[in-house]
Structure 1
């Protein structure tokens, strides 16, 4: 789970304090940033702490049960902070819940947590200024997502605050795949792609602010099919070629992808377009054909293995990241071993792995053969141990090599800078603080658990 709170060092006396806490995926991080862009004109400035805030916004995730429960726990803590604020004569804190939990459990939130003033789904946060104004007059208004992302993006302000040379850029939302374990089609709606022109305009504005690397976001980003200038459907590959033409945009990434949407032109872009980084997040979830069918993944074990081989033939230096679910209903020891065997064959530089979490309303939640927590715990530990071993081998193989590093921010020590490798790793380099925002060759000298140590050449 990702906790992301954009922060500013000081808040002026005439500004209202806003605290945003983000749970879940990179799409939620992007959404939080855009909600902040919407609220700044109302006189809100961000605070990195909820204490004393005039407005607290929880941007939620509904993928796993624990994520939803953490939101309710946080609401209880915020209720106490609000009572302290009122007792101190400092006004009233407004508590708002946004994101996927808000969409899936909006009425339940209002019933279970009366302290919440406003619930707003992920496709309606562009109406936050109006909703906040109204909720100060009539507590408890709820607005669910209406699944009109075109209206949302049309209503967002053009200008975005950026804090470094990297930025997220949403190009696609929603999902039509209906995996049996996933709530995204119900919380984000059907697949929808932004027009090419709108994406290019936003990218140019980001480049003008010093952004050098864009990560294109979507629930199924490689299913992108937004309209181009002629009205014809584009593809993600075509979009990336257009983005790479923007002066200043030197690096492109994209997440999250589905194996069935890896078209030939996208594989060729990995081969032919230098801006596309050699790092791909391509979830498979399981290595068992039986479980993949039960998940409604619409691809098989061997087709995924063959696809990875094709991509690596086009881009031999590719590093792969994946998603895995252990303990899906009906998963046997043999099914789990099939997953482990796939991991050994494919080899991953990173992964996200989880125990299966039944989400209400999804088909898998009612399936027979639910796996016990004890079995899931053991399988997850074994899977993560194998992935960590592969991750260590990948990083160790980089020692002595030269990588182009995009320096993002100062390090803790004087003169130190932290950059990002082509493989999305943090790289610590001494005597490089003057290189922020630049892409510079760095020789990798050592590896740590979560980062690399390098030296300028």
Structure 2
């Protein structure tokens, strides 16, 4: 998954808050609910992609049914879970550092249960349990239903582990608890796993094979959110464009097949006031049918995250991305033609194995061709177990990787500023998500193209409502304006 979704969008991992896949920092997840007397307390901290945050909501739902209450302070918790990410090496290091902190609390309170969930749990299961002695329970992404039993094992004095991957599990029947929710925006997981074997990526090994969720359950979840007053949903998958479900339709008394374009339309038709976003698209799979569906419905946001990773066809082949530079440009051209004004963002890797200086320049020229609204950029980080780690030499010096990454960052800052400057002097329709992080006197929200907008709060506009905002100026990351007269 390339990669979205509660904080301001920025250019790169090195720049403040992110919401895109692989960009999220650790965040404690809590719900606003009355505390039941004598209930056990659960603390969940999530790292990495939107899928991890959505999974934490599933975990909370499963354990709330067992009498747990969530808390935002791990020092008062009975069970502490850290939902992990293995996409980048620095994400793993952050998790290890955090586990050391939890370990200090566990020495003070020996009854505290500490668990690792998610992608690192599957990949480093033995290390966590046997070598580091900091973890009591290790649970992979497909085993969350087993959590009550695993916690019980730990309470009986055993270590507990379940990292089995499934070909069927989608958690379709579990209604996620909306953690740290603003009551306005929410994620809906439409599929799990990934069948794309990109040579740099661990996701197929940590999340298993791709499987699509029953569309009836997706629509029911979306309708429930609408009924509760939510105004925006983001459909999540490692590769949403490969969504495909076959099954029975009770209404039609027949077997049906639903692809992503059809699912997107069904969600959009639930309520014209519900904004619909999605992430992530794969360049090899995004179809004109999807693009025409976006163009057809005003409430499907004109924003597509389309990770390129590299501008070089040779490097893309080494990455096993299964498309060429020319194919990617064809898809960008189709987006520009079918959805004029659509924002496009990307993921870019600097210094992949054997990348030459000329191929690095091809990435820079691709950035100029597309003119990304924003991008998430990384130096290549070899991940154990991947095809690249087994077959390719990580032969680009770190100094060269850093310099190439710097050049990519500078170019993206230029394009981000240029794209935002195009909005100055315009009045945009903004979904107000809440107070700005920097000032309670300001609101923040996003426009249709996913740009963050900050403007003075008004007594006449409340979070969850739409506001027409006149854009007066911008930074390279944020539009600044005022409510239009």
For normalisation by structure 1, the TM-score amounts to 0.94
From 431, 439, 452, the counterpart of 1:426:
452
Which structure shows the bigger proportion of residues in helix conformation? 1
Q: Deviations over 1:8-52 (max 9, x none)?
A: 579846333322111110111111122112222333332223223
Q: Aligned residue for 1:121? A: 140
**Structure 2 CA distance, aligned partners of 1:47 and 1:143?**
25
Aligned to 1:307: 331
What is the Cα deviation at residue 414 of structure 1? 5.5
Unaligned runs of 5+ in 1: 87-91
Matches within 5 A, 1:257-336: 257-336=281-360
Map 1:334-413 to 2 at 5 A: 334-366=358-390, 367-368=392-393, 370-411=395-436, 413=439
Q: TM-score when scaled to structure 2? A: 0.88
Q: Structure 1 residues 295 and 441 mapped into 2: Cα distance closer, same or farther (>3 Å)?
A: same
Q: Which secondary structure state, in structure 2, belongs to the residue aligned with residue 232 of structure 1?
A: strand
Distance 1:150 1:8 in 2: 25
Shift of 1:287: 0.5
- Seen in structure 2, the aligned counterparts of structure 1 residues 227 and 152 have a Cα distance that, compared at 3 Å, is same
Q: Number of aligned pairs?
A: 451
Deviates more, 1:260-269 or 1:432-441: 432-441
Deviations 1:316-361 (A, max 9, x none): 1111100011111111111111111111111101111111111111
**Bigger Cα displacement from structure 2, 315-324 vs 107-116:** 107-116
Could you say what secondary structure the match of 1:452 adopts?
strand
2:64 to 40, 50, 54: 40
**TM-superposition CA deviations, 1:56-83 (whole Å, max 9, x none):** 1110011112222222222122111111
Match of 1:445 among 472, 477, 482: 472
Q: Could you tell me how far apart the structure 2 residues matched to 1:254 and 1:151 are? A: 18
Higher relative contact order (CA 8 A, sep 6+): 2
Which position in structure 1 is the counterpart of 2:30? 7
Distance 2:426 2:291 in 1: 25
Q: Distance in 2 between matches of 1:106 and 1:336?
A: 36
1:220 and 2:239 are equivalent in the alignment:
yes
Q: CA deviation at 1:158?
A: 6.5
Q: 2:106 aligns with which of 82, 94, 97?
A: 82
RMSD: 2.0
Show structure 2 runs of 5+ residues with no match. Answer: 1-22
* Deviates most, 76-85 or 43-52: 43-52
Secondary structure, aligned partner of 1:226: strand
Q: Is the 8 A contact 1:210 1:248 kept in 2?
A: no
The alpha-carbon distance between structure 1 residues 151 and 429, as it changes in their structure 2 partners (threshold 3 A), is closer
Pairs within 5 Å for 1:239-254: 239-247=263-271, 250-254=274-278
